[in-house]
Amino acid sequence: MPLNLEQSTELCQLLGDASRQRLLLLLEQFELTTAELTTITGLAQSRVSTHLARLKRAGLVQDQRVAGSARYSASQDGAAHPVWALLRQGLDDPRTLLDRERAAECILARKHGRTWAESVAGRMEVHYSPGRTWEATARGLIGLIAPGRVLDVASGDGVLAELLAEEAESVDCVDISETVVAAGRARLAAHANVRFHCADMHDLPFAEASFDTVFVMHALTCSRTPAEVIRAAGRVLAPEGRLVVVALKSHQHEAAMVAYDHLNMGIEPAALRKLLVANKLKVDACRVTSRELRPPYFEVVTALAHRPG
């Protein structure tokens, strides 16, 4: 949405206030009342109300009536949102951690006899619970699969390999950085079935049909030629072998591309499907599977494919 100079100035003034930024950061993760925001931030209730009114007019927050009171949460509407999303990427302040801790205490105090699950129903994924982490969930689910001979393309220092090592026959990890490979070898030295290779993911140093399961996890954005990565992964996949690709959906956030050494701006599901089919793979699924809850709301594409026997 184009802005004139007056609108641009007003938008900068709106977001150029630390208190309003604190409120926005809180409301990205929690639905909170004016009274709760006052308790959390220590700001006067009149100031909180004024800030919320301005943010609501700008389309950055929304409210709904719950149990007789208005609860506010972040919104993505309005011309202000792209500017806030850009600013949000670089924010890192100790006060925000304290604000989140106080917000969790407010949620707890709000329960009024309900169970924890009942108090956070509908937004459970953004609330902490002891032991409820994605790593714990992954470790619980991995026991259900038999990955066989595994290849982890652009493996980093072996986070995925560490999860798979006990269930896999073998795990070969490929990364182009000698520093990262050395860190991975040290990390997984106790696992005799895990091997690290310093190599280019576009030209994998393995024979054809060497692996039962190939993972290409967040590797495509680090390539100028994603098609070559898929070709190389498909070449080493055994008959009836499975390929798992996870990648960012195409986006327009160039700052993130630079910060994380990405070489492209993501890929559309249709384009990824086309690459898989071009390499004679049977596509079982290829779609957007998740959307981040905090700006800039990156979306993730997951593709599952196999090589017909």
- Measured distance CA(208)–CA(22) in Å, rounded: 54
Domain-ending residue, one of 126, 156, 187: 126
Rounded to whole angstroms, the Cα distance separating 187 from 178 reads: 14
**Is residue 24's pLDDT more than 80?**
yes
Residues 6+ apart with CB under 8 A from 19: 41, 43, 47, 51
pLDDT (average), residues 210-239: 97
Domain edge (last residue) among 78, 104, 126: 126
What's the Cα-to-Cα distance from 196 to each of 43, 170, 202, rounded to whole Å?
A: 53, 11, 16
* Per-residue pLDDT, 242: 97
Angle between helical axes of 45-57 and 34-41 (0-180°, round to 10): 120
pLDDT greater at residue 305 or residue 16: 305
Which of the two residues, 234 and 145, has the higher pLDDT score?
234
Distance CA 267, CA 196 (A): 28
Same-domain check for residues 72 and 155: no
Q: Are residues 167 and 47 in the same domain?
A: no
**If pLDDT is split at 50, 70 and 90, which confidence band does 282 have?**
very high
Which CATH number fits the domain that encloses residue 91?
1.10.10.10
Count structural domains, the chain.
2
What per-residue confidence (pLDDT) applies to 292? 82
Q: Verify that 259 and 191 share a domain, yes or no.
A: yes
Mean pLDDT of the chain: 89
Tokens of 270: 């249709």
Identify the domain containing residue 148 by its residue range: 134-306
Q: Are residues 193 and 243 in the same domain?
A: yes
* Mean pLDDT, residues 44-62 taken together: 89
pLDDT of residue 221: 95
Cβ neighbors of 186 (< 8 A, separation 6 or more) are none
Encoded amino acid at 193, one letter? N
Task: Tell me which of 97, 126, 155 is where a domain ends.
Answer: 126
Contacting residues for 60 by C-beta, under 8 A, at least 6 apart: 24, 74, 75, 78, 80, 81, 84
**Lowest mean pLDDT: which of 82-96, 107-121, 243-257?**
107-121
State pTM to two decimals: 0.67
Mean pLDDT of 131-148: 86
Specify the higher pLDDT residue, 118 or 245: 245
